[in-house]
């Protein structure tokens, strides 16, 4: 997909708009499976929360992926996309026992990260196989917002609580068929991840009838030129060798599972916006676009970097701009960015917008969420319509106030 294709898509469907390249998703999937090609029983479960459009889920199913889900709604999306229940793992956090029981009725793999819920579920449903999410107390990713394996994380059962965990399993006679961890996003240090894997292997030895070990994901992708990314080849070589040896020690082959989200879809996504106004202040030139953190919150929420280019004037003289949105809050996409000269009406593209971008969009300021397009086999396919004013009102219930009742309140 080229910049000309993006311009044509914006012309056909309007802007702002999210565009995803299916070929890039497929190549990322192949890159991951190739890194672990020596593993006979490898499973990739796409992290639905990264980008949950049903057409994207169907594409993942065609690639051979399973699904990692974190809510009953994501489970239902996966089933609607044609996934078999056995291909879906459900790893919630902080949900009620009722939701876990409802999901269990659907036949998907349950993954529990809480001793209280584990005991409650095991006491009532001891015959339903359960995976256990362990917190290895290892910070393998970036900051605390995206690293979830550290000691203060709300996710997972602490490795220091293993004796309590084992007592619950023994008392309820429940079946544990998997062990899981997720240390967080943006893994850079392979050795730190391998250290966490050793903790997971040690934990697995406590359970005699495991079917799989799930290592989560968090593989880092480059967000700008010369950016560091996870060395998948090195990780694949080292972890595969260790996993094979562990299976021999354990006594039978296990399935190795990863749950990539950002790794598969981030680089495939492009967000196209139009410049409404170029505003010069005493110290800054602002390019104000027809979007805001209601569409793309990552820069404001995480301080994330998204490369910005001028599609309309790609070869223009480079100038410095702060690209901001139209929300009635500070909604800066990038400060003092070097971009080809911008004129009002130009189209800008934000790169690496496939993961945690549209899926975190909102109607703040009563703005519409944008359309989504999948670029597949050289053609553009609309996979989500742009919202309308009727969509904003759809679930609102209007009350009719009488003049008398209002006056009484006053």
Which tops the pLDDT comparison, 301 or 183?
A: 301
DSSP-derived pairing of the beta strands 285-289 and 269-280: antiparallel
| The predicted structure's pLDDT at residue 172 | 97
Separation CA 360–CA 186 (nearest Å): 19
| The predicted structure's pLDDT at residue 138 | 81
173 and 305, same domain (yes or no) = no
| Structural domain includes residue 162 | yes
Under the banding of pLDDT at 50, 70 and 90, the label for residue 146 is very low
| Structural domain includes residue 216 | yes
Q: Among candidates 256, 270, 268, 257, which has minimal Cα distance to 221?
A: 268
pLDDT of 402 over the 90 cut? no
Active site residues: 328
- Residues 367-380 have pLDDT tens digits of 999 999 999 999 99
Which CATH number do you get for residue 313? 2.40.37.10
- Residues 63-93 have pLDDT tens digits of 999 999 999 999 999 999 999 999 999 999 9
Separation CA 389–CA 23 (nearest Å): 34
Share of the chain above pLDDT 90, in %: 85
pLDDT of 218 over the 90 cut? no
Structural domain containing residue 127: 22-261
The answer to whether 345 touches 274, Cβ cutoff 8 Å, is: yes
Which tops the pLDDT comparison, 190 or 396?
A: 396
Separation CA 387–CA 186 (nearest Å): 32
Section 7-28 average pLDDT:
98
CB count, 10 Å around CB of 392?
14
257 and 274, same domain (yes or no) = no
Average pLDDT value for the chain: 93
223 and 282, same domain (yes or no) = no
- Residues 253-294 have pLDDT tens digits of 999 999 999 999 999 999 999 999 999 999 999 999 999 999
| Structural domain includes residue 8 | no
225 and 294, same domain (yes or no) = no
Which CATH number do you get for residue 78? 3.20.20.10
| The predicted structure's pLDDT at residue 7 | 98
Separation CA 357–CA 80 (nearest Å): 22
| Number of domains observed in the structure of the chain | 2
| Structural domain includes residue 364 | no
DSSP-derived pairing of the beta strands 176-180 and 157-158: unpaired
| Structural domain includes residue 406 | no
| The predicted structure's pLDDT at residue 126 | 96
Separation CA 410–CA 392 (nearest Å): 30
pLDDT of 185 over the 90 cut? no
Q: Among candidates 366, 286, 358, 298, which has minimal Cα distance to 324?
A: 286
Under the banding of pLDDT at 50, 70 and 90, the label for residue 140 is low
| The predicted structure's pLDDT at residue 154 | 86
| Structural domain includes residue 227 | yes
121 and 203, same domain (yes or no) = yes
């Amino acid at each position: 997909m080229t910049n000309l294709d993006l311009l044509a898509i914006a012309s056909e469907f309007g802007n702002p708009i999210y565009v995803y390249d299916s070929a890039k998703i497929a190549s990322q999937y192949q890159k991951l499976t190739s890194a672990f090609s020596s593993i006979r029983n490898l499973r990739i479960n796409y992290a639905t929360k990264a980008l949950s459009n049903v057409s994207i889920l169907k594409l993942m199913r065609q690639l051979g992926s399973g699904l990692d889900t974190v809510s009953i709604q994501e489970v239902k999306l996966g089933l609607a996309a044609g996934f078999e229940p056995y291909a879906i793992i459900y790893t919630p956090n902080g949900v009620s026992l009722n939701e876990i029981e409802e999901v269990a009725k659907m036949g998907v793999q349950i993954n529990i990260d809480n001793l209280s819920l584990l005991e409650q579920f095991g006491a009532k449903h001891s015959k339903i196989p359960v995976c256990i999410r362990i917190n290895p107390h290892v910070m393998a990713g970036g900051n605390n917002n995206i690293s979830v394996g550290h000691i203060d994380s709300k996710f997972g059962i602490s490795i220091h609580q293993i004796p309590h965990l084992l007592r619950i399993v023994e008392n309820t006679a429940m079946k544990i068929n998997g062990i899981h961890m997720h240390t967080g996003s943006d893994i850079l240090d392979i050795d730190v991840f391998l250290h966490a894997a050793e903790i997971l292997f040690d934990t697995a030895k406590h359970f005699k009838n495991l079917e799989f070990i799930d290592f989560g994901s968090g593989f880092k992708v480059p967000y700008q030129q010369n950016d560091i990314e996870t060395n998948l080849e090195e990780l694949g070589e080292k972890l595969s060798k260790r996993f094979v040896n562990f299976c021999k020690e354990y006594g039978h082959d296990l399935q190795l599972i990863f749950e990539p989200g950002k790794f598969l879809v981030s680089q495939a996504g492009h967000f196209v916006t139009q410049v409404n106004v170029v505003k010069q202040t005493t110290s800054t030139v602002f390019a104000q676009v027809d979007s805001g953190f209601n569409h793309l919150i990552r820069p404001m929420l995480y301080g994330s970097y998204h490369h910005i280019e001028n599609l309309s004037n790609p070869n223009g003289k480079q100038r410095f701009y702060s690209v901001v949105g139209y929300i009635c809050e500070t909604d800066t996409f990038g400060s003092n960015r070097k971009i080809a000269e911008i004129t009002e009406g130009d189209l800008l593209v934000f790169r690496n917008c496939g993961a945690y971008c549209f899926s975190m969009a909102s109607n703040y300021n009563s703005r519409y969420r944008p359309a989504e397009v999948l670029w597949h086999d050289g053609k553009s396919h609309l996979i989500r319509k742009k919202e309308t004013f009727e969509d904003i009102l759809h679930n609102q219930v209007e009350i009719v106030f009488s003049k008398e009742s209002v006056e009484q309140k006053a």
